């Protein structure tokens, strides 16, 4: 039976992780290891300036007083009886589209698994007043039916709108689109600052942003390679400095 690690960044009590763990239990032996508190926008952070407390909260469930990536590391190296066959992260309450994958704890937790060679899937649903967790359950089931037994991917980020399941138009492969914030920082009356602001999405056909706006389930395969190979190719024809080539 495959071992599946389920984590998130909304905290172990969040509705999304319960849905995901429940669906995943039809596909393998599920271990839930997740932050005790909400850690949204924690990105790929590690807790290194204090020790991390872990509490057993079920026969195969642990609450971690740390980040999503802390949770994955502790699961992999201390808690699980064997290396998992799959890592699932989410289901996040809120999209993780475009550049937001840099901030997302949901995607980072999955990416940590992918860095260790474990196929990983992050799932995120649109955040709005009416959260369709029944839709999330069905979408997660569709995704697992398609990918649970496969090992030909490293890291997938799945996003879908919070609408009745029947309204969805199917799954599409997408690339990461673009998003800026109208005003990412706001100064408050008491002299403090608030990070946030209204996202402005650029809608390019075939992107993740385009897909969810058109009621598709967006599946983006993500790379772990951040090198700008296009730039490097051109750059390597000229040396950075007179001595750099010799030193290498």
User: What backbone torsions phi and psi does residue 96 show, to the nearest 5 degrees?
Assistant: -125, 80
Site for Mn ion in 22-61 (CB under 5 A): 40
Tell the smallest beta-carbon distance from residue 112 to Mn ion (Å): 15
Tell the smallest beta-carbon distance from residue 95 to Mn ion (Å): 10
Which lies closer to Mn ion via its Cβ, residue 86 or residue 93? 93
Tell the smallest beta-carbon distance from residue 94 to Mn ion (Å): 6
B/e letters for 92-105, b = 16+ CB within 10 Å, e = fewer, are: bbbbbbbebbebbb
When CB distances to Mn ion are compared, the closest residue is 40
Please identify which residue in 4, 6, 10, 143 interacts with Mn ion, judged by CB under 5 A.
10
The token pair that represents 189 in the structure block? 């009356």
Tell the smallest beta-carbon distance from residue 234 to Mn ion (Å): 38
- In sequence order, the 6+-apart residues with CB closer than 8 A to the CB of 158 are 90, 121, 122, 123, 124, 139, 143, 217, 218, 219, 220
Tell the smallest beta-carbon distance from residue 144 to Mn ion (Å): 20
Which residue from 59, 4, 60, 9 is spatially nearest to 34, judged by alpha carbons? 9
Which lies closer to Mn ion via its Cβ, residue 90 or residue 119? 90
Q: Indicate the pairing of strand 217-221 with strand 155-160.
A: antiparallel
Site for Mn ion in 182-201 (CB under 5 A): none
Question: What does the alpha-carbon distance between residue 72 and residue 112 come to, in Å, rounded to a whole number?
Answer: 7
When asked if residue 92 is in the footprint of Mn ion (CB under 5 A), the reply is yes
Which lies closer to Mn ion via its Cβ, residue 16 or residue 28? 16
Question: What does the alpha-carbon distance between residue 126 and residue 95 come to, in Å, rounded to a whole number?
Answer: 5
Going from the C-alpha of 163 to that of each of 8, 37, 136, 138, 202, the distances in angstroms are 22, 27, 9, 12, 22
Question: What does the alpha-carbon distance between residue 248 and residue 245 come to, in Å, rounded to a whole number?
Answer: 5
Question: What does the alpha-carbon distance between residue 17 and residue 94 come to, in Å, rounded to a whole number?
Answer: 13
When asked if residue 137 is in the footprint of Mn ion (CB under 5 A), the reply is no
Size of the site for Mn ion (CB under 5 A): 4
Tell the smallest beta-carbon distance from residue 105 to Mn ion (Å): 6
Which lies closer to Mn ion via its Cβ, residue 7 or residue 40? 40
Please identify which residue in 4, 9, 72, 148 interacts with Mn ion, judged by CB under 5 A.
9
Tell the smallest beta-carbon distance from residue 33 to Mn ion (Å): 16
Q: Which stretch binds Mn ion (CB under 5 A): 4-12, 25-33, 79-87, 237-245?
A: 4-12
Q: Which residues bind Mn ion (CB under 5 A)?
A: 9-10, 40, 92
């Amino acid at each position: 039976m495959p071992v599946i690690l389920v984590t998130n960044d909304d905290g172990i009590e969040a509705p999304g992780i319960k849905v995901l763990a429940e669906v995943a239990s039809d596909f393998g032996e599920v271990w839930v290891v997740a932050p005790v508190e909400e850690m949204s926008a924690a990105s790929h952070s590690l807790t290194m300036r204090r020790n991390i407390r872990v509490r057993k909260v079920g026969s195969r469930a642990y609450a971690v007083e740390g980040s999503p990536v802390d949770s994955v590391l502790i699961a992999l190296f201390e808690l699980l009886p064997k290396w998992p066959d799959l890592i699932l992260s989410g289901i996040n309450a809120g999209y993780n589209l475009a550049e937001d994958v840099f901030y997302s704890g949901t995607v980072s937790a999955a990416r940590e698994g992918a860095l260790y060679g474990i196929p990983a899937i992050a799932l995120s649903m649109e955040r709005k007043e009416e959260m369709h967790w029944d839709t999330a359950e069905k979408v997660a089931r569709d995704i697992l039916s398609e990918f649970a037994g496969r090992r030909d991917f490293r890291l997938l980020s799945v996003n879908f709108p919070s609408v009745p399941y029947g309204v969805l138009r199917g799954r599409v492969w997408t690339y990461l689109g673009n998003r800026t914030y109208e005003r990412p920082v706001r100064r408050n009356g008491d002299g403090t600052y608030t990070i946030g602001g209204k996202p402005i999405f650029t809608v390019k056909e075939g992107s993740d942003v385009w897909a969810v706006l058109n009621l598709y389930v967006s599946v983006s395969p993500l790379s772990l390679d951040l090198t700008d190979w296009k730039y490097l190719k051109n750059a390597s024809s000229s040396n950075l400095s007179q001595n750099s080539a010799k030193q290498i």
